Amino acid sequence: MGLLNAQSTKTYVCEKMHSWIFHQHSSMVTVALGITFIAISNDLLPSRMGVQAWTYNYTTDPLDWDSARLYCKKHFTDMVAIQNKDEIAYLNKTLPKPDKGYYWIGIRKRQEKWTWVGTNKVLTPEAENWAMGEPNDLGDGQDCVEIYIKRHKDTAKWNDENCKNKKGTICYTASCSKKSCQNGTCVETIGDFKCRCYLGFEGPRCERAVECPAVSDVPSGGSMNCSHPIPPHRCNSTCEFRCDEGFLLQGAQRTECDATGQWTHPAPNCTVVTCDPLLVPSEVHFTCENPLGPSSYNSTCNFSCKAGHTLKGPANLTCLASGAWSAAAPVCEVVRCGQLNDPLNGKLRCQDPLEKFSYNSTCWSECNSGFILKGSSSTHCSTRGRWSHALPVCQAVECPAVSDAPSGGRMNCSHPISPNSFNSTCEFRCDEGFLLQGAQSTECDATGQWTHPAPNCTGTDTEW
């Protein structure tokens, strides 16, 4: 049966120290009461760490198995558990042959299974190291195990024995102590221990949490809030990012320093919120201030219109944090002047370069024939929506007043518009015995002249 063994190291959490491994360099110490110890001190283990070195002790005093175990547990860690060739070679080489029998080791039969007493683990076939023909369970209750040392045959092999028999004992003291590794498990190595760090810790004694690089790029337009279980920026540190109003977070909101010293996510960016480009009618003039970028949060635009136009809508817009403009864009409307009608007895003629009766419209008045214009013949619609001049009036042309009725006659006049003015008519009649000389009627014409002079009434007696 060959020496089968596997691991040269065995891992345990520091709190449970069950395992040991020895190492070549040793020294012998003889202690009083006839108990001899071998102390295997580890010169690899830096003493400045102040950690107790792994030691391996034995006694040749004959003890039954139970007493032997009590002895080991009282003075050391436990009875030895044999794990590999190196251990066996070492024991084979260094231990003396006791006066009586050989040495107990920490294996016992429990519920019909060979079990390592320190760990309560069942002996695996690979780890078995029985002497030829063993275990033979010879006689009564061979439930304990001894290791042959300095025997002529089968030396370093195991043999099952009655537990009541008295033998020497091999004990061990683990290198690992509770304080060996601060945040890791202690691993027994040959004459030494190593710390196997928990995730996120490093250093010879797992004394440091893994460190992440500082988060230097706090996003512009944002802020960062980090919490450090172990400051600064150590494993499990988390940083939360927030963007200021008007900025959008791009990337991860939260990052964590992981066990490998990397942040789980890169720092995010805060990008400024943008609004859609302003769509305004071409006649609207605008000027914008863009403190954070074109059409971006806090961009403000002022609007204005050309002369003769008024702004319908807001005078300015701001791009809000929501990405919307504060209101709909305005439009420019042409200024309007009041509607004009034809003057009485006249006509109005207008030129409207933009819209009817609007800014820059010009209107001219003309009077019908027989009427003359009083006032301004033209008017202009101003930028402020006012006509430059009031509409004129058309006054009827006046004729010189007709003299009294001719002597010896009568006159009957009508004045449809005003006295002695355009379209006024007068009819003449002569009295009995008088003869009308001239026109019977006259009319005030468009030029302000009577069509005919007033007639005469001449007496008929002249014939006499």
Ligand X SMILES: *[C@@H]1O[C@H](CO)[C@@H](O)[C@H](O)[C@H]1NC(C)=O
Question: Which parts of this chain interact with ligand X (CB under 6 A)?
Answer: 29, 31, 37, 39, 41, 55, 57, 75, 88-89, 92, 155-156, 182-183, 198, 200-201, 207, 209, 225, 229-230, 235-236, 246, 250-251, 266, 268-269, 287-289, 291-292, 298, 300, 302, 308, 314-316, 353-354, 360, 370, 416-417, 423, 437-438, 453, 455-456
Residue nearest to ligand X (CB): 39
Of the candidates 33, 49, 157, the one whose C-alpha atom is nearest the C-alpha of residue 103 is 157
Shortest Å, Cβ 138 to ligand X: 23
Consecutive H or E run containing 49 = none
Shortest Å, Cβ 127 to ligand X: 15
Q: Which tokens go with 4?
A: 């089968």
Shortest Å, Cβ 451 to ligand X: 12
Which alpha helices (H) appear in 27-80, and where do they start and end? 65-75
Q: How far apart are CA 438 and CA 132, in angstroms?
A: 180
- Of 288 and 413, nearer to ligand X (C-beta) is 288
Shortest Å, Cβ 137 to ligand X: 24
Which residues contact residue 213 at a Cβ distance below 8 angstroms, ignoring those fewer than 6 apart?
233, 261, 263
Q: Which amino acid is at 217?
A: D
Contact call for residues 244 and 270 (beta carbons, < 8 A): yes
Q: Which amino acid is at 246?
A: G
Shortest Å, Cβ 203 to ligand X: 8
Q: How far apart are CA 283 and CA 22, in angstroms?
A: 95
Shortest Å, Cβ 178 to ligand X: 13
Phi, psi (rounded to 5 degrees) for 32: -60, 175
Residue ranges of E strands in 64-120: 78-79, 103-110, 113-116
- Of 135 and 200, nearer to ligand X (C-beta) is 200
Q: Which tokens go with 418?
A: 């005003």
Shortest Å, Cβ 132 to ligand X: 13
Contact call for residues 200 and 210 (beta carbons, < 8 A): yes
Q: Which amino acid is at 10?
A: K
- Of 91 and 144, nearer to ligand X (C-beta) is 91
